[in-house]
A and B are shown apart, each in its own frame.
Chain A
Amino acid sequence: MELINSNNSFFLNPEDIYTVSRLNFEIKRNLENNFFNIFLEGEVSNFYCHNNKHFYFDLKDEYSKIKVVMFYDANKNLNFEIKDGLHLILSGYVSVYEKRGEYQFVANFAQPAGIGSLLLAFEQLKAKLKDKGYFDDVFKKPIPVLPKKIGAVTSTGGAVIKDIISVMSKRFDNFHLIVRNVNVQGPSSSEEICQAIDDLCEYGVDVIIIARGGGSLEDLWAFNTEAVAEKVFKCNIPVISAVGHETDFTICDFVADIRAATPSVAASIVVPDKNELTSKILLLFEKIKKSVADKIIHYKKDLNYLVNRRVFKNPMVLLTSRWQDYDLTVKRLIENINDLIGFKKSNLTQLVKLLSIGKIKNNIRFKQTVVINLSGKLKILINIRINELKNKIKTILQNIHANSPISVLEKGFSLVMDNSQKVIIKSLKQVEIGDEIKVFLHDGILLSRILDIIKNKLKF
């Protein structure tokens, strides 16, 4: 068909022209029909969860990639988290987002490639809670030695509760167990377990056992949910987790304060062996009795030893030696007093000698001549000193006169001051013609008036 004429324009029936919308629509219909309900495998990248909870990501292999959308309706049932790098198998169909002319894969379902989705979910939650510190030892509460009320979260229908009761009965004949019945598997199980923990906390128990028999990962799933993990972690009462057989581990086991390998083990951890405890208490009691008895025997021996000492048997012995001490002391006292009296006597006679009158008179006479001598010397010294001072004053007065301004005036100089006698006139600049000034001579003052000012440096 010739499409282009000589004028370079189309000759077409309008119906043959596609609009963009129509083309995209037809592509969409084609793709959706040809790629309806297929499985697609690849690695996740650029994962993004929109506010409205729809997932957007790319799925890629070595050479190629495709945009994927997984709407909330489809992704809300996933038990694991989709992350970049995860290898997935998706089921769904190819569609076109006509608004932008982009084709994409719409996933209805996703599962991890190579590993079960439950196992992946388990590993993911375990890693997440471990990061949050939920398994840390610092949060582990101690289990009371003798709990008054024991709570149990389990099914009242199974063998587990029978095992627990049987073990407890053997160890302690009067225990108090409060069981909260739950479905230990099935869709409502997780929620029921959480509610049961709340109920037992509200009722008030000293410890809680969460127990279930063995089973597949799927059977035990309720004990691997984040909700149960949160509930156990936040529970203020110590929790023992005994889920499954010895080889089964659940998230609940990791979060609980203690993990018991089986429900029977949990029962024996919680309930002490009464006979063992009783004999322990009796043993301690015996020890107390024995050590006090030993002590009393020991003190009795000491007492006997003391009672048998000579002083207690013959107290007069003590008295005779004291009498001797007394006698000796009195003797010493008398000797000391006599010595003291003798000493004081000789002291007294010496003093009397010193005080004899003749000696005192002589003494006074001697002191008088000394005084006379000294006063004569003192007079001479004072006169010398006065003359020295007189001469010094004379010299000072002569000095003062030679330097005084009056003596300068006597030599023929005069002093010029202003009329108020406050300022000494030293320069022509201080006066004007007609000013009155005072000229001071050594014998009086000249009141003068300036007739003229002749500027000239004085030369002699």
Chain B
Amino acid sequence: MNMEIEIEKLSFEQAMNMLENIVKDLEDEKISLEESIKKFEIGVKLSSFCLEKLNEAEKKIEELTRTDNGKLITKDLNISE
């Protein structure tokens, strides 16, 4: 349960690193079956988390400006391509 909460807090890089480490751990023959099942479950969660992260953002191209009273605002930037 703890693991789940922590995964949500990871950055994409951290999750990718963890995933790569799990692959390495699982390829080690000395690991117990119980341990490998645990790691497998975390690995599944991490890979779906990473895939989600890739699709999380919405495409936006904006321009940042300041209003007359000095407030920062963004508006869509339209550039003819």
Q: Say whether A176 faces chain B, with CB atoms less than 8 Å apart.
A: yes
Q: Say whether B4 faces chain A, with CB atoms less than 8 Å apart.
A: no
Asked if A202 contacts B72 (CB within 8 A), the reply is yes
Partner-contacting stretch, out of A228-236, A288-296, A338-346, A401-409: A288-296
A204 closest partner in B (C-beta): B72
Number of interface residues of B (CB under 8 A): 40
Contacts of B47 in A (CB 8 A): 281-282, 284-285, 288
Contacts of A291 in B (CB 8 A): 23, 26-27, 36
B32 closest partner in A (C-beta): A295
Q: Say whether A274 faces chain B, with CB atoms less than 8 Å apart.
A: yes
Complex-state Cα separation, A165 to B78, whole angstroms: 11
A-B pairs under 8 A by CB, number:
108
Complex-state Cα separation, A291 to B65, whole angstroms: 52
Asked if B57 contacts A287 (CB within 8 A), the reply is no
Asked if B79 contacts A161 (CB within 8 A), the reply is yes
Interface SS of chain A: helix
Contacts of B66 in A (CB 8 A): 199
Number of interface residues of A (CB under 8 A): 38
Asked if B36 contacts A295 (CB within 8 A), the reply is yes
Contacts of A156 in B (CB 8 A): 63, 77, 79
Contacts of B39 in A (CB 8 A): 288
Contacts of B56 in A (CB 8 A): 148, 174
B23 contact from A200, A288, A296, A299, Cβ within 8 A? A288
Interface on B for A, CB 8 Å cutoff?
11-13, 16, 19-20, 22-23, 26-27, 31, 33, 36-37, 39-40, 43-44, 47, 50-51, 53-66, 72, 74, 77, 79, 81
Q: Can you spell out 6 A-B residue pairs with CB atoms less than 8 angstroms apart? A: A176-B62, A179-B63, A179-B77, A282-B47, A288-B40, A295-B36
